[in-house]
Structure 1
């Protein structure tokens, strides 16, 4: 376990952690020596030779002082090393995840990463600062006491050695019980945390549809699962700990019986027996604390495994000779791609010329969103190539690729901060005039005008203080402010009302004059005014052309348009 902790430290801070281990071990040795020196002190006092006890007593005081100094040193270094570990792990995780493909960040993985970077890292910091040293003490002190027993009476040392394998087996079994349940407890805790956030955020929907009991039941089930797994861990841990303590007490009784037998046999003096029994107590007592410390370290070891699993994820490959795109065109060449082993795109070839608006339409699951995510390099295609400006996206650095793209997806996330801060994410160095212009084109100025704090209005975690349509308009303002040559819009108007949808449609129209826009939309106006429409079906391009051409063809797109047109003409009749 200690080796796992050492791997987490960088080269600069690992020596401090090692020095903490060394000073903790030396402190434990000096403590064991101090206990060992009680044997000659007690022997001299009980044999009515108090004068002979003074040199041993002086040595005992020196050993105690050395222990105090080393213990304080290891304690100070330990707290510093724990704080450094939290900073190092956060930096390592942060530096690594920004290099991972964006497609890696699924909802499940994001939740696990959130728990790992918050609760689990704090746990590691606490263990490194406060639990490693006691465990070293619990191991080194008995070893030192055992060595002292060898010096004073090898028979008592042999009795202690015979008890060690039994104690080791009990310790191992107890540790395995804790380790096996930790993964289940951690998964249940992560799920419960996610359900709490989900239940809070979805209150408007749950109340509107009278599903508060259903939503509450999901939360209740996850909390019950968390309770049950935690209870199972406590029960199994208590059983294991009780068995371990019973074994330790039996080991002490075994040493006591061995000492009494030797004393009754006349081969071990009574004063020396008393001193050796003191050592026997110090041999067993630290091993009791080792159970708690060892269990904590095993749980921390599981956490380190989860950290290393994230760090072992393959980062997005970067080109050795990065290239820069020549223009804002987009091209897919016989692309095949899917998730896990299920193909989604099967031989898709598509070229989007620069400066126009291309619409992707088709049924759910046909691969529309997957195309936009491959262009943004959330994933790399299985076969074929995805090119921007004649350059394969795998031959660009992440910075170069992202500088070419503005992304507006259906699921909008706003950071906890002000409206202005969230819009400026598009381009932090934008002037106030540029910010206001982007806001005007996305109709964010209307939102700002009606709020008491204006641009300084805080949107809350995830932007919960704004409506779905308002969050989408802020997201589009980001894209406008970034002013990238290519804009990818995935269902940008799906969550908007008529007013907001009109504002977004106007903003998209402004972009088409000098940008390449690839939009996934079911909005009839957006689709009808596209320079080209691409209909996807079963991972392939079924039809492509202008709106008029596809309607005249009378194929799947014409039927798609007819269904949408009919649904738009539906009206609610008055009740009679």
Structure 2
């Protein structure tokens, strides 16, 4: 429980002080509750006294009433935290998880499934708040009441107390076994729930493909295996603890029966009064009740611990360290100084001894095959991770001396895959600068070439874009992304082939907007279509994490055996290809045409 208490205090966060106070109140209330039960011993003794001493009887009744009233008052204060702070702890936990995810190194964040994080922020946060607000106080009761009443029974008759103690000690290994089995089992259940949530997200996002292939529904290969695994882990976790729980409860009840049997024998032998036996029996019954309940509740505690541990796993991930001596950059030239970077879990570096400079207000294009390291360069520039060797600098400032948020204030990024939130067009553009006025937002939209499209919509800038921008075309989504960059007006711009997925007409409009965006900026562009970067100030050709060529378009074409010249020739030829034969007269494609080769037009 020390471990669970530490996790509860972590989950309580800013309400840890109130949580500790509530535990102290709960402990005091439980001691009063146990003392009230102890009052039955002298009360019953007085009632069996001949003659009955009425004054003493009423004295013990008054003590019993006062103890119960005191317990009730303390329980009211205890409930204040349970009911008033439950939603506050939930909210605080989710806000802190959000802050932790925002500060988490991108490399660490990328390895976690979206659905799994949804499980942590959603269900686990709720379970943690319940554990903090309710289960902790319940645990205090389950431990304190038997402890106090056990002392009372030992004080009344040590022989009966030893019987009760022996039964308790015999049950403890089984309770511990419940903890072990439930702990591992419910951690597996929680992981399976997280994986299930991740696959559900994947299923919903991939429904068009699954429908097209006839694999949507209960037997979907995305959902069926994970649901089967989830059911198996839940069943295993519940069954594994059933026998130890029943055994622990049986041993506690047998100890109670043994106590009554020994007490009866001692009473018949005149070594114990009937009143004392009755009082001990009452105390022992109340002693056994929470112990039996504890065996069952152990599963709930372990389930809570699994949720608390998953929250703790997110909250304790350290953000990238910020070294001392940093200052905001005043100029915006970029320099990669002998940079080597390897992703976690990989043996080979993605970037090897990379060394290049991007002058301020120039355009540098990165080209190369998939996996050559282009995207990794932009990630290191945005400080999503730090290189294992070498230094990345902006304006002479080492990025390790700046927090990622401070770096990103100077960088606008336009991705190939645009992410829009299910909110209004205005809100999606204003993400770049939440305090922007409506005229500033509209000016950014005009510069991005999307203003006229927006004004033709019934609700204008108040139009909701749908989930992931589904209500808009690809070109419209991309122009909203560019409007964000215009509104941010950062001196550094990173373009991740923003026109690659667009049709010809949309590409032309977006390209014009990009040309306006990058004027007088320091620009790095990841290029797949070489025709779009022919005018770059420098082109860096990457291969297996190294720069194999650098220069302008004309300089690189002057090296006919170089990779860039070969890529240019291949793309130029591809633009002139057609399917030979002009099509099949019947309109059907014969089976022999599958895999047909294209040939250049003459």
Scaled to the shorter chain, the TM-score interval is over 0.9
Deviation at 1:447, TM superposition (A): 4.1
Partner of 1:327, secondary structure, is: coil
Matched with 1:511 is 517
- For the 8 Å contact 1:43–1:271, the answer to whether it is kept is yes
- Out of 354, 357, 370, the residue aligned to residue 363 of structure 2 is 357
- For the 8 Å contact 1:82–1:127, the answer to whether it is kept is no
Distance, in Å, in 2 between the alignment partners of 1:167 and 1:80 is: 37
Distance, in Å, in 2 between the alignment partners of 1:89 and 1:214 is: 34
Distance, in Å, in 2 between the alignment partners of 1:538 and 1:213 is: 42
- Unaligned regions of 5+ residues in structure 1, if any? none
Partner of 1:216, secondary structure, is: coil
Residues 226 and 411 of structure 1: CA distance in aligned 2, closer, same or farther (over 3 Å): farther
Deviation at 1:399, TM superposition (A): 4.3
Worse overlay, 135-144 or 55-64: 55-64
- For the 8 Å contact 1:132–1:293, the answer to whether it is kept is no
Deviation at 1:106, TM superposition (A): 0.8
Distance, in Å, in 2 between the alignment partners of 1:535 and 1:89 is: 46
Matched with 1:473 is 479
Residues 469 and 575 of structure 1: CA distance in aligned 2, closer, same or farther (over 3 Å): farther
Worse overlay, 81-90 or 397-406: 81-90
Matched ranges for 1:112-131 at <5 A = 112-131=116-135
Deviation at 1:74, TM superposition (A): 1.5
Worse overlay, 42-51 or 183-192: 42-51
Deviation at 1:524, TM superposition (A): 3.6
Matched with 2:350 is 344
Partner of 1:514, secondary structure, is: coil
Residues 193 and 530 of structure 1: CA distance in aligned 2, closer, same or farther (over 3 Å): same
Which digits, 9 at most, give the CA deviation of each residue in 1:177-232, with x for residues without a partner? 11101221111111211222222222234345555479922122222222221222
Deviation at 1:259, TM superposition (A): 1.9
Deviation at 1:244, TM superposition (A): 2.4
- Unaligned regions of 5+ residues in structure 2, if any? 586-602
Deviation at 1:97, TM superposition (A): 3.5
Matched ranges for 1:368-379 at <5 A = 368-379=374-385
Deviation at 1:520, TM superposition (A): 0.8
- Out of 563, 573, 584, the residue aligned to residue 575 of structure 1 is 584
Distance, in Å, in 1 between the alignment partners of 2:57 and 2:218 is: 77
- For the 8 Å contact 1:81–1:128, the answer to whether it is kept is no
Distance, in Å, in 2 between the alignment partners of 1:271 and 1:541 is: 93
Distance, in Å, in 2 between the alignment partners of 1:116 and 1:95 is: 14
Q: Does residue 551 of the first structure (1) align with residue 560 of the second (2)?
A: no
Residues 132 and 100 of structure 1: CA distance in aligned 2, closer, same or farther (over 3 Å): same
Partner of 2:166, secondary structure, is: helix
Matched with 2:594 is none
Partner of 2:125, secondary structure, is: helix
Residues 178 and 462 of structure 1: CA distance in aligned 2, closer, same or farther (over 3 Å): farther
Distance, in Å, in 1 between the alignment partners of 2:243 and 2:478 is: 54
Q: TM-score, normalised by structure 1?
A: 0.93
Residues 372 and 258 of structure 1: CA distance in aligned 2, closer, same or farther (over 3 Å): same
Deviation at 1:257, TM superposition (A): 2.6
Distance, in Å, in 2 between the alignment partners of 1:205 and 1:57 is: 75
Matched with 2:395 is 389
Q: Does residue 171 of the first structure (1) align with residue 171 of the second (2)?
A: no
Deviation at 1:137, TM superposition (A): 0.9
Partner of 2:154, secondary structure, is: helix
Distance, in Å, in 2 between the alignment partners of 1:181 and 1:53 is: 52
Matched with 2:538 is 532
Worse overlay, 565-574 or 174-183: 565-574
Matched with 1:335 is 339
Matched ranges for 1:14-53 at <5 A = 14-46=16-48, 49-50=51-52, 51=54, 53=57
Matched with 1:254 is 258
Residues 137 and 58 of structure 1: CA distance in aligned 2, closer, same or farther (over 3 Å): same
Matched ranges for 1:43-192 at <5 A = 43-46=45-48, 49-50=51-52, 51=54, 53-106=57-110, 108=112, 110-192=114-196
- For the 8 Å contact 1:329–1:389, the answer to whether it is kept is yes
Q: TM-score, normalised by structure 2?
A: 0.89
Aligned residues: CA RMSD: 2.4
Aligned length in residues: 575
Worse overlay, 551-560 or 370-379: 551-560
- For the 8 Å contact 2:447–2:513, the answer to whether it is kept is yes
- For the 8 Å contact 1:17–1:78, the answer to whether it is kept is no
- For the 8 Å contact 2:124–2:310, the answer to whether it is kept is no
Matched ranges for 1:287-302 at <5 A = 287-302=291-306
Q: Does residue 428 of the first structure (1) align with residue 434 of the second (2)?
A: yes
Q: Does residue 283 of the first structure (1) align with residue 287 of the second (2)?
A: yes
Residues 88 and 427 of structure 1: CA distance in aligned 2, closer, same or farther (over 3 Å): closer
Which digits, 9 at most, give the CA deviation of each residue in 1:451-489, with x for residues without a partner? 332211112343343344433322222112211111111
Distance, in Å, in 2 between the alignment partners of 1:496 and 1:293 is: 58
Matched with 1:563 is 570
Deviation at 1:450, TM superposition (A): 4.6
Which digits, 9 at most, give the CA deviation of each residue in 1:209-263, with x for residues without a partner? 5554799221222222222212222222333322322222222223223223322
Partner of 2:433, secondary structure, is: coil
Which digits, 9 at most, give the CA deviation of each residue in 1:337-393, with x for residues without a partner? 010243100011111122222211111110000000011111111111111122222
Residues 460 and 183 of structure 1: CA distance in aligned 2, closer, same or farther (over 3 Å): farther
Q: Does residue 2 of the first structure (1) align with residue 5 of the second (2)?
A: yes
Matched ranges for 1:198-209 at <5 A = 198-208=202-212
